[in-house]
Structure 1
Amino acid sequence: MESYLRKWCLVSMWVLLLGLGFKVKAEPQVPCYFIFGDSLVDNGNNNRLSSLARADYFPYGIDFGGPTGRFSNGKTTVDEIAELLGFDNYIPAYSSVSGEQILQGVNYASAAAGIRDETGQQLGQRITFSGQVQNYQNSVAQIVQILGDENSAADYLRRCIYSVGMGSNDYLNNYFMPQYYPTSRQYSPDQYADDLITRYRDQLNALYSYGARKFALVGVGAIGCSPNALAQGSPDGVTCVERLNMPNRIFNNKLKSMVQQLNNEHSDAKFIYVNAYGVFQDLISNPSAYGFRVTNAACCGIGRNGGQLTCLPGQPPCANRDEYVFWDAFHPTDAANTLIARRSYKAESSSDVYPMDISQLAQL
């Protein structure tokens, strides 16, 4: 009888709370979300650096309440994924996180960063992938202190998702810039991809040694389809530049193979590959199916179709931003980021991810 009364009271309280308009907070699908990458997901880590790769000024963030350092008019892909995973707040930047905030995860991404340490150096300061891994190791030490011991921290971290999207700048701001870097003369596209993958694997294993177990590795996008590439290398301003896309596909194929190898090597971990290149190609080749009208020009920027430079401070962007795939010369709009994120989280095609999507990774 007491048990029945207890249950009746709990049900009555639940109904009362719902009737009063209270929402019962659902827990996120994973306890924390750690993010590594470049300007595609940087949310302010470069704001305090001496760098040309910064987005802490208007019109960046025009649809986000103001500039934060995100290279978008609004959300990035990881912002949308954080929402899909059930987080109430976006994952904070390493440069601003403090105290127990760290337990929900940290965004270490830095614009112009690459797998190779010299990548992006012509733009000034940036936090390389190895630097981001070091910052994560510092965070782990703090998490151990907060949770009390290493075993508790290890149990906590193994349930978190680690999103890593590196490699774009190793092409954009290294291999495709022979005036600054010798790599294109030293390596064939295949050799360069091998070099990047070897370095990448070492850093992923470092993350693994510090507790990471659920990895979502995001492939390099179709760089040759950006307004910047079209402005410089496309004769009609519409056709993607194959000379740039081909090396990206080589890297992505090797990245996907590495995912399979790492899954074989680490039976207590799971690595997945997110085919950002393929999803982005879908948006470019069939824009109307996704509500887009403009694929070959930037909403914000100057030069041929906005492809020569990123947004200038105070420059008004286009008004119909949701109809554009690209926000500036290199980065997608909020609308494009949202679609890419949703297909990364819940695949619409078998080619979107390998061997599973982020929603499935979260449930492991």
Structure 2
Amino acid sequence: MERSDSVGVAIGKRAGRSEWRIRLGMQKVCSLRVQFAAVNVVRVGGSDVRVVNGLLWFTFDDNIWKAGTAALGNGQFGNILQDASHMLKSFMRLKATFGRRETNKRTWGKWVAEIRDPNRGARLWLGTFNTSTETALAYDEAARKLYGSSTKLNLPDDHHHRSSSLSSANSTSSISLLAACAGRQAEARAFFVFGDSLVDNGNNDYLATTARADSYPYGIDYPTHRPTGRFSNGLNIPDLISEQIGSEPTLPYLSPQLTGQNLLVGANFASAGIGILNDTGIQFLNIIRIYKQLEYFQQYQTRVSALVGPEQAQRLVNEALILITLGGNDFVNNYYLLPFSARSRQFSLPDYVVYLISEYRKVLERLYELGARKVLVTGTGPLGCVPAELALHSRNGECAVELQRAASLFNPQLVDMINSLNSQFGSDAFVAANAYEMNMDFVSDPQAYGFTTSKIACCGQGPYNGLGLCTRASNLCPNRDLYAFWDAFHPSEKGNRLIVENILTGDEKYMYPMNLSTILALDSRT
């Protein structure tokens, strides 16, 4: 919920975000994120509402809000609701795949259109069409919105004038999900995060543990320029996913601010240092191990049920996006922590990986039991290539062989296990994110992504700045965007952005069986 003091329509980018928010009217409003497969202009009460970058934002003034919540079937709000459903359903059937920025005819006889967003560099799916003319018109309309009226178009202006009446009729139906907005105060999809330091938003700041990122220069590029508990110079992977789904960043579950309406945004349960196994990270003392995170998730649902009722709480969880990142610490901070660790004496590496996968399956099954239905599961990155491992094991900058072998064994078995789980539950509830390939793209060719190095951490000490965490006494690079790694283990914000770009739009090399854009476009909430 937010307030707007302006009258009419205000269109602008949110600070630090790539999405557009549209405001209509004034005073108390219900903000609504809607994922679209096209760029349109619609009319609501005589005002333009623009669908840009695939996201549509509505707000309603007090009068419409009261009328709508009082009687959905009557008056202006009811008419909007009635008109909304038709176009939404057709849009949601479109599969959000990404390809060339031109119009094409696919083998199944439909025409498709895609365009590149100049602000984000991502390709936007505009839809499927019956004729090449319809496709060209859709592309041209999107091009004008994104590039301006002087951009080169496929068709001359007279085609656009002749099609305006049809376009207007279709666009009027593009309003959607308003019924859900009336049913509860905020429609933005909830987001939940589980895992380790790659995704921890600050839970460990509330714990007596050595696994903390609560001092400068952590957070040096965060909007507040202060440490937040994130193991990053700025935003981490959950923050950047929140941007893409039109949500505020998830608060740590242990944060005192996670109360009331903030609960509806979701929560971050992650804790630096943890792994799949309970004995992983024991040297960090007090951390939130994965089954405790799941216990907190169950506790969260009880709190939300008290706020909005059991039915709405269950719906919120079922429709939520969930990210879980585990596995790396089970090698770095367990199996390979000491030359003769307890786990390395108990298992050969292949047997240890099999054991990890079997234990991870139990975690994901429990997550499903707790209502998770849209879960991104990341594999391990290139464990042997992080500055910490280079500092310990590398003479000439080559990746540590044993840790790379561990990742090469773990990740394929994780994908197989996810496929098995999806077959077991009869749906694609779990999606495998290939963090290894996402990282290796810029680790193996940093210059292609604007980095000067992927071996030396921006902040640290010792060889490759890879010994220990980042502190006030550490070496600190002046330009974090030139470094793939922020500290000994964690990517820089720029590195995280590259990872999330693949989560959002990557093909099956990176995301299987679908990417995040497809998940959003195929949202079944209608």
Same structural fold, with TM-score higher than 0.5 when normalized by the shorter chain: yes
* Aligned ranges 1:1-364 → 2 under 5 Å: 16-18=8-10, 23-24=22-23, 25-27=31-33, 31-64=189-222, 65-87=225-247, 89-96=248-255, 97-149=258-310, 151-178=311-338, 181-236=341-396, 238-268=397-427, 270-313=429-472, 315=474, 317-347=476-506, 349-362=507-520, 363-364=522-523
Q: Distance in 2 between matches of 1:216 and 1:288?
A: 29
- One-letter amino acid matched to 2:210: L
Q: Distance in 2 between matches of 1:146 and 1:250?
A: 44
Higher relative contact order (CA 8 A, sep 6+): 1
Instruction: State the 1:180 CA deviation.
Output: 7.7
- The structure-2 alpha-carbon separation of the partners of 1:118 and 1:20, relative to structure 1 and needing over 3 Å to count, comes to closer
Q: Distance in 2 between matches of 1:19 and 1:174?
A: 51
- The structure-2 alpha-carbon separation of the partners of 1:327 and 1:18, relative to structure 1 and needing over 3 Å to count, comes to closer
Q: What secondary structure does 2:455 align onto?
A: strand
Q: Distance in 1 between matches of 2:422 and 2:11?
A: 48
- CA shift digits 1:127-156 (9 cap, x unpaired): 11111111101101112222212x332222
Instruction: State the 1:227 CA deviation.
Output: 0.6
Q: % of aligned pairs identical?
A: 37
Instruction: State the 1:326 CA deviation.
Output: 0.7
Q: Which has the larger radius of gyration?
A: 2
Instruction: State the 1:94 CA deviation.
Output: 0.5
- CA shift digits 1:27-68 (9 cap, x unpaired): 165520100011111111001212111000000000012100
- CA shift digits 1:301-337 (9 cap, x unpaired): 1111211111123546200210100111111101101
Q: Distance in 2 between matches of 1:191 and 1:222?
A: 20
- One-letter amino acid matched to 2:206: R
Moved more, 196-205 or 36-45: 196-205
Structure 1 portions without partners, runs of 5+: 1-13
- The structure-2 alpha-carbon separation of the partners of 1:331 and 1:148, relative to structure 1 and needing over 3 Å to count, comes to same
Moved more, 15-24 or 292-301: 15-24
Q: Distance in 2 between matches of 1:356 and 1:242?
A: 31
Q: Distance in 2 between matches of 1:113 and 1:211?
A: 23
Q: What secondary structure does 1:326 align onto?
A: coil
Q: Distance in 2 between matches of 1:20 and 1:243?
A: 50
Aligned to 2:184: none
- The structure-2 alpha-carbon separation of the partners of 1:66 and 1:314, relative to structure 1 and needing over 3 Å to count, comes to farther
Instruction: Answer whether contact 1:85 1:359 (CA < 8 A) is retained.
Output: no
Aligned to 1:9: none
Q: Distance in 1 between matches of 2:453 and 2:335?
A: 28
- One-letter amino acid matched to 1:227: P
- One-letter amino acid matched to 1:358: L
Instruction: Answer whether contact 1:51 1:123 (CA < 8 A) is retained.
Output: yes
Q: What secondary structure does 1:36 align onto?
A: strand
- The structure-2 alpha-carbon separation of the partners of 1:55 and 1:248, relative to structure 1 and needing over 3 Å to count, comes to same
Q: Distance in 1 between matches of 2:12 and 2:272?
A: 46
Q: Distance in 1 between matches of 2:284 and 2:315?
A: 39
Q: Distance in 2 between matches of 1:68 and 1:286?
A: 30
Q: Distance in 1 between matches of 2:34 and 2:479?
A: 33
- One-letter amino acid matched to 1:318: C
Q: Which runs of 4+ in 1 moved over 4 A?
A: 19-22
Instruction: State the 1:268 CA deviation.
Output: 4.7
Q: What secondary structure does 2:399 align onto?
A: coil
- CA shift digits 1:7-41 (9 cap, x unpaired): xxxxxxx9932489993355165520100011111
Moved more, 21-30 or 245-254: 21-30
Structure 2 portions without partners, runs of 5+: 1-5, 14-20, 24-30, 36-187
Aligned residue pairs total 347
Instruction: State the 1:292 CA deviation.
Output: 0.8
- One-letter amino acid matched to 1:188: S
Q: Distance in 2 between matches of 1:337 and 1:279?
A: 10
Instruction: Answer whether contact 1:32 1:160 (CA < 8 A) is retained.
Output: yes
Instruction: Answer whether contact 1:59 1:67 (CA < 8 A) is retained.
Output: yes
Aligned to 2:149: none
Instruction: Answer whether contact 1:71 1:331 (CA < 8 A) is retained.
Output: yes
Q: Distance in 2 between matches of 1:19 and 1:345?
A: 24
Q: Distance in 1 between matches of 2:286 and 2:414?
A: 27
TM-score normalised per structure 1: 0.91
Instruction: State the 1:81 CA deviation.
Output: 0.8
Instruction: State the 1:124 CA deviation.
Output: 1.9
Aligned to 2:125: none
